[in-house]
Amino acid sequence: MDGGAHNKRSDTAPVRSTCPFCGVGCGILLSPDGQGGIAVKGDPDHPANRGRLCSKGLAVGETIGLDDRLLAPRIGGEDTDWDTALDLVADRFRETIAQHGPDSVAFYVSGQMLTEDYYVANKLMKGFIGSGNIDTNSRLCMASTVAGHRRAFGTDTVPGTYEDLEEADLIVLVGSNLAWCHPVLYQRILAARKKRGTKIVVVDPRRTASCDSADMHLQLEPGSDVALFNRLLVAIYEGGALDKGYLAQVDGFDDALRAAFSDRADVTGLDPEQIEDFCRLWLRTEKVVTIFSQGVNQSSAGADKVNAILNCHLASGRIGKPGMGPFSVTGQPNAMGGREVGGLANMLACHLDIENADHRRAVRDFWNAPAMATRPGLKAVDLFHAVKDGRIKALWIIHSNPAVTLPDADTIRDTIRDCAFAVVSDITAQTDTARLADVLLPATAWGEKDGTVTNSDRTISRQRAVLPAPGMARPDWDIIADVARRMGWRHDFDYASPVEIYREYAGLSSLGGHFGRDFDISAHATIRDIDYAVLDPFQWPLTKERQGGRFFADGQFFTETGRAQMLPLRFRPPESKKAPRYPFRLNTGRTRDQWHTMTRTAKSARLAAHLPEPFCEIHPEDAAQLGVSAAGLVELTSPQGRAVLRALITDRVRPGDLFAPMHWTGETAPSARIDALVAPVTDPVSGQPESKASVCAVKPFDAAWYGFAVSAMPMHPQSTYWARSRTRTGWRAELAGLDTPADWEAYARDLFQLPDSAVQAVNDPRRGHHRFAFHADDRLQAALFIAPEPVLAMRDYLATLPGTEAPDAISGRAPADRPDPGPVLCSCFNVGVNTIMTAIESQGLVTVDAIGAALQAGTNCGSCRPEIAALIARAATPRAAE
């Protein structure tokens, strides 16, 4: 553990670190219990959250268990020692480069890595191997923002700070479900709103939880954001809201305005009056912040969408001033660190340009690099295409699960499997990608890592180890540097600790200042070990002259002219075109309590309880037309793949649109790998995949039988459809099959691996109903419920029974004195939907605060408050929604 991590506290004081679950970058206080667990609290002194945490952050201590950890290197599935594994990696990479050149190898890295890890990987690939073929999974998250920022500002600069969200009078959320994906920022906005009456507008094809507190929801046609913001630009011009003084520092206004005039707002599908209401609100509110996220970025027109937003802020001069500006929020905890340190294939470190010979020379000299890359490498989708066609023959994937998350995921899975040499560094062997590796390298996990991360408002925070590395696990920077040394660059990668890497990185960033770039933390080029150990969060830049703050209020930009650039833009529809065979548009995204492919959050029963099964939102009209029944299963097909999901009939999506979450994998629900359906089309500027507008067909999935199971032990489902998740007492699973087993009891015993346990059974073969409850030592081990239609059972009650006596479990129903709480809504206090609805109806509660006073729900992290508000609204108008 970092001895200085106590930061002027006593040895028993909590360790200050950073939450690993999103780009808000909340500070977190960690108190190890000495038995492998940690208690977690929000850090009241961290500027991102001031003590707040959301449901995911609060549950981080429940995600650190060692049960599935990779504890030793593996070659071909067999444990080995580090020397053998790393010699093999170094030899295969060196031989491949010698035979086929530097572009025949690649790294695919991750926004989960710390900046120091990223720095070493980028230095090895771009400076010593001599290829640009290192790209990060942040390409899937915010590459369009990077491209948009660079086109407008000359660098990838986030102009504002989190304080702007509290100082704004109008927040426009574009393609951002902030309430679920960045909950602490959303809570900061709602808290500020109580004082200043902030208006909130949501621009999103889907009615998300963020809409529950919004003043206006523009439910536009997927992908039509450019047309909407072009209309806003015209309104800014016509309404006299141009800042002519500021425009003196901006190029391209006339062309941008001309293009905006020629665009058609009707492609948004919005009521023209609603568009004008939005424009009027924007024009009369000077302090406006436009927050944008994956709904903007994950598009074949992502960079244009970003620039359409930036155009409006530049034309009105509302940028870089308190309460004003465009604001991108990143998904991953260190996506920003990756952007800064050169994790993207088309960037050098420190926001320097790989295409710029002066920048390349300077970095080469700084690194004393023998083989500086001379051109950008392949971006994520192209990189895996190159693996598929054999141009890349050795691939190292670090903390990422591309076999699930990249578009056309089934093809990617086959591509990794067929790659001549695939190395995976991860904390577990149990991911869809890790299962395909030739060599598996055990890396340290969040609670064991030391280094720095950057959040969405440019605040760099220390992440500090609070637990010892288990087994043979090592930090990523250490593994990568070891391979580099074995490849022959002994002295250039001779790091002994993260602080040595950080010092070098800070020194390199002085080149940024030298070349007039924004990213410069050179004040830390000689930081002492002890100062790094106790380093408080700070916002970059950090030089002798300047620390943090906003950019661009002064009209000084990082382009060659020093002026900003507006772009002429026109709406371009999504690349994937609807066709009679594929009449639906599929949107993908996150749920509130899960993170990425659930390798960590799925370990928390509390988080799993929120939405334990993958689902597909479908509009009631479409469901009726297709014969999709509530709680039935649906089969989605696209030109790329197929998925089976639970139908969720709701008017949150528009007719013709579908939404499905992106979290489920071969480990948790093999038929719900939703990126298997996503087309591998990308934005031509940013290379970011269009993950929110694939085309597909949908129809009911007619299973012969359906099942629901609970168990104290892990289950081993063997059926066409299954989805499993943890519970506080073990596991639960949804099941369905096309072929009916001949012997249901034998099926149940196989599922639970209970060949000899005593069983209670109720069989009604005529109706196709079967129930089994297995007990041992007067405790319920497992129960299975089978029906020819979706099983009617009190799932959330049944999930509490394994390990208890539960003599009546086989009934599938709760006794009258133990009402079924329903699906968990408030993860902090484990309060279910049914409990809240009962309180609303029986006690006449009509506010979220009143629910909180009665049940505690919503009174801790606040992540569930929008959903409680929605339940109150639903109770008031019972037939208005689904």
Nearer to ligand SF4 by C-beta: 146 or 184?
184
Does 29 engage in binding with ligand SF4 (CB under 6 A)?
no
Q: Is the CB of 27 or the CB of 790 nearer to ligand SF4?
A: 27
Helix %, strand %, coil % of the chain (to 5): 35, 20, 45
Q: Kindly indicate which of the ranges 24-32, 218-226, 481-489, 551-559 contains the residues binding ligand SF4, using the contact rule CB under 6 A.
A: 24-32
Q: From 20-28, 756-764, 766-774, 789-797, give the range in contact with ligand SF4 by CB under 6 A.
A: 20-28
In the complex, least distance from residue 181 CB atom to ligand SF4, rounded to whole angstroms:
8
Which residue, chain included where needed, has tokens 């409680």?
868
Choice between 104 and 604, CB closer to ligand SF4: 604
643 makes contact with ligand SF4 (CB under 6 A) = no
Tell me which of 5, 26, 202, 607 binds ligand SF4, using CB under 6 A: 26
The strand ranges marked E within 654-741 are: 657-661, 694-700, 705-711, 721-727, 730-737
Q: Does 25 bind ligand SF4 (CB under 6 A)?
A: yes
> Is the CB of 328 or the CB of 694 nearer to ligand SF4?
328
Angle at 611 (CA atoms; ends 608, 617), nearest 5 degrees: 155
| Backbone Cα Rg of the chain | 27
Q: Which stretch binds ligand SF4 (CB under 6 A): 16-24, 413-421, 607-615, 695-703?
A: 16-24
Which residue number, 222 or 537, has a Cβ lying nearer to ligand SF4?
537
Closest separation in Å from C-beta 651 to ligand SF4: 28
Our CB check for ligand SF4 shows the closer of 235 and 611 to be 611
Residue 614, token pair as written in the block: 């993958």
| Helix segments in 540-619, DSSP class H | 605-608
Nearest to ligand SF4 of 26, 672 (CB atom): 26
Grouping H, G, I as helix, E, B as strand and the rest as coil, residue 642 is strand
Tell me how far CA of residue 835 lies from CA of 236, 712, 821, 826, 851, in angstroms. 48, 25, 5, 11, 10
- For residues 460 and 564, which CB has a smaller minimum distance to ligand SF4 in the complex? 460
Segment contacting ligand SF4 (CB under 6 A): 177-185, 307-315, 390-398, 532-540?
A: 177-185
* 114 sits near ligand SF4 (criterion: CB under 6 A): no
Q: Is position 141 an interface residue for ligand SF4 (rule: CB under 6 A)?
A: no
Residue from the set 175, 183, 376, 862 that interacts with ligand SF4 by CB under 6 A:
183
Q: How far is the CB of 111 from ligand SF4 (least distance, A)?
A: 13
Residue 878 CB, nearest distance to ligand SF4 (Å)? Answer: 32
Nearer residue to ligand SF4 within complex by CB, 55 or 650 = 55
Segments in 263-330 forming alpha helices (H): 272-284, 294-297, 302-316
Measured from the CB of residue 57, what is the shortest distance to ligand SF4 in angstroms?
Answer: 2
Nearer to ligand SF4, 55 or 711 (CB): 55
CB nearer to ligand SF4: give 187 or 249.
187
Residue 335: CB minimum distance to ligand SF4, A: 12
Stretch that binds ligand SF4, among 22-30, 83-91, 102-110, 868-876 (CB under 6 A): 22-30
Which residue type, as a one-letter code, is found at position 274? Answer: Q
Closest CA to 536 of 27, 20, 22, 56: 27
Shortest approach of ligand SF4 to residue 773 CB, angstroms? Answer: 38
Is residue 146 within 8 A of residue 172, CB to CB? The reply is: no
Q: Which two tokens stand for residue 170?
A: 């109008």
Of 44 and 583, the one with the shorter C-beta distance to ligand SF4 is 44
Q: Total binding residues for ligand SF4 by CB under 6 A?
A: 14
Nearer to ligand SF4, 25 or 790 (CB): 25
Count Cβ atoms within 10 A of the Cβ of residue 705 and give its class: 0-12 exposed, 13-18 middle, 19 or more buried.
buried
Nearest approach, Cβ of 182 to ligand SF4 (angstroms)?
6
Under the binding rule (CB under 6 A), the answer on residue 22 touching ligand SF4 is yes
Residue number of the CB atom closest to ligand SF4: 57
Kindly state the smallest distance separating residue 607's Cβ from ligand SF4, in Å. Answer: 11
> How far is residue 484 from each of residues 89, 120, 493, 539, measured CA to CA in Å?
10, 9, 7, 31
Q: What is the Cα–Cα distance from 789 to 632, expressed in whole angstroms?
A: 8
CA distance 841 to 824: 18
**Residue closer to ligand SF4, measured from CB, 57 or 252:** 57
Q: Give the interface segment with ligand SF4, choosing from 2-10, 21-29, 512-520, 658-666 (CB under 6 A).
A: 21-29
Could you give the C-alpha distances from 286 to 79, 166, 190, 511, 786, in angstroms and in order? 62, 14, 19, 37, 60
CB of 337 to ligand SF4, least distance (A): 14
Nearer to ligand SF4, 17 or 565 (CB): 17
Q: What's the min distance (Å) between Cβ of 22 and ligand SF4?
A: 3
Closest residue by Cα to residue 707 from 774, 795, 629: 795
Residues 472, 365: Cα–Cα separation, whole Å: 36
Closest distance to ligand SF4 from the beta carbon of 121 (Å): 23
Among 16, 46, 150, 182, binds ligand SF4 (CB under 6 A): 182
Least Cβ distance, residue 511 to ligand SF4 (angstroms)? 31
State the distance between the two ends of the chain, measured CA to CA, in whole angstroms: 51
Smallest distance, Å, CB 764 to ligand SF4?
46
Residues 6 or more apart in contact with residue 878 via CB below 8 angstroms: none
Interacting positions 39-98 with ligand SF4 (CB under 6 A): 49, 53-54, 56-57
Nearer to ligand SF4, 188 or 771 (CB): 188
Q: Which stretch binds ligand SF4 (CB under 6 A): 23-31, 72-80, 488-496, 698-706?
A: 23-31
Q: Closest distance between ligand SF4 and the C-beta of residue 578, in Å?
A: 35
Give 415 or 463: the residue with its C-beta nearer to ligand SF4. Answer: 463
Who's near 664: CB < 8 A, 6+ residues apart?
597, 598, 614, 672, 673, 674, 723
Minimum Å distance from CB 862 to ligand SF4? 10
CA 808 from chain centre, in angstroms, equals 41
Closer residue to ligand SF4 in complex, CB, 182/865? 182
Q: Which residue type is seen at 97?
A: I
State in angstroms the smallest separation of the CB of 50 from ligand SF4.
11
Residues 696 and 641: their CA atoms lie apart, in Å, by 9
CA 857 to chain centre: 25
**Does the footprint of ligand SF4 cover residue 21 (CB under 6 A)?**
yes
CA 634 – CA 637 distance, rounded (Å): 10
Look up residue 580 and give its two tokens: 């009679």
Element (H, E) at 635: strand 633-637
**Interatomic CA distance for residues 137 and 688, integer angstroms:** 10
Selection from 279, 311, 316, 282 nearest residue 199 by Cα: 282
Q: What is the DSSP annotation of 211-253?
A: GGG-SEEE-PPTT-HHHHHHHHHHHHHHTT---HHHHTTEE-H
Please tell me the distance from the alpha carbon of residue 149 to that of residue 320, in angstroms, as a whole number. Answer: 13
Site for ligand SF4 in 796-815 (CB under 6 A): none
Query: Counting contacts by CB under 6 A, is residue 24 touching ligand SF4?
Result: yes
Q: Shortest Cβ distance from residue 853 to ligand SF4 (Å)?
A: 24
Residue 19 interacts with ligand SF4 (CB under 6 A): yes or no: yes
**Residues in contact with ligand SF4 by the rule CB under 6 A:** 19, 21-22, 24-26, 49, 53-54, 56-57, 182-184
